[in-house]
Amino acid sequence: MQRTERNSYNAGMRNSDKIGFPLHRPRRLRQSGWIRDLVAETRLAPQDFIWPVFVIEGENTAEPVSSMPGVSRYTIDRLVAEARAAQQSGIPALALFPVVDAARKTADGKEALNADNLICRALSAVKEAVPEIGLIADVALDPYTSHGHDGLMSEKGAILNDETIEVLCGQALVQARAGADIIAPSDMMDGRVGAIRHMLEDEGLQNTMILSYTAKYASGYYGPFRDAVTSAGALKGDKKTYQMDPRNRDEALLEAALDISEGADMLMVKPGLAYLDTIVRLYDNTQLPLFAYHVSGEYSMLKAAAQNGWLDYDSCLMETLTAFKRAGCRGILTYAAREAVDLL
């Protein structure tokens, strides 16, 4: 009797649907660290990160940004040292942003065209000292305009598209000549990618790449960045007439199609975390490498919550960066790049 029952049980195990055992158990591939690593769909590496860095005038200074814990503004000499350390850690590129003295800001943003301005000197110094690291230069007029907008402004307060593009081309030219490997127009003027591409070709700079801020949204997540570049109080009005409406996603496909047709080499979504659906949409419908900007507000929220003991910063940081990669990004601009490399 006992043997018959055991045989019946074994038969049931072989035909598990009779007694309700699942044939497919996804947990089998989660039971140990080695198997989780082996079957992981998404992997992060130091080569995935671009480190945005703020540059200031002066010497031997690292100035903390109060609204971005762990982030500092660097003088050029300190920037060179930080760039060397970043390159040695495996980070492939830096994105540089200047903190322009208020006395140099004008309505027409003419300091952007100065071949000896802060960002050009920073690009040249880093490229000479650390030629192996990639350098990305932001192209937009907001660091240089007294009104805080990314473009030229009419007497009635409208942002002038075509007139701005002429200045952006001049800005891109001095940056490329100073050592920028990648020009990154973040201004969202219509047609600027094509104009910059033609200018670069005409000037014999055909190998200079363009990373277009394809879907840059008029977001509230930029607040700490504006503190970092000391532009928060200068902005007159908002940027909703040229940056994308947060309610739109399909519009990003149009922006991407235009940028691709105009000669962009790479596309960017900014902010990143709040717009993962846009990243996925572009990944599914375009072929160019796709990047996300883990912006200042997204970064500072993690820091603030961790400082209050509400979450584990390291865990949530890596989860966030993995989300960008999982959504389809080849690269991620993040202020936490150095921290992420250390965690990896």
Would you please indicate which residues are annotated as catalytic (active-site) residues?
Answer: 216, 270
Choose among 35, 40, 36, 129: nearest CA to 79: 129
Count other C-beta atoms under 10 Å from residue 7's C-beta.
10
- C-alpha 100/C-alpha 174 separation (Å) is 16
| DSSP for 59-79, written as a single string | SS-EEE-TTSTT-EEEEHHHH
The number of residues making up the chain comes to 344
**Could you give the CA distance from residue 300 to residue 68 in angstroms, rounded to a whole number?**
5
Q: How far apart are CA 264 and CA 194, in angstroms?
A: 8
| Beta strand ranges found along 195-305 (DSSP E) | 209-216, 266-270, 290-294
Of 138, 211, 135, 125, which is closest to residue 171 (Cα–Cα)? 138
Return all residues near 226 (Cβ < 8 A) that are at least 6 apart: 232, 235
Radius of gyration over every alpha carbon of the chain, rounded to an integer in angstroms: 24
Strands (E), the chain: 49-56, 62-64, 72-75, 93-98, 134-139, 152-153, 159-160, 182-185, 209-216, 266-270, 290-294, 331-334
- Residue 119 to residue 133: CA distance in whole angstroms: 16
CB atoms within 10 A of CB 220: 10
Buried b / exposed e over 333-343, threshold 16 CB at 10 Å, is bbbbbbbbbee
Give the whole-angstrom CA distance, residue 178 versus residue 106.
22
CB neighbour class for 42 (10 Å; exposed up to 12, middle 13-18, buried from 19): exposed
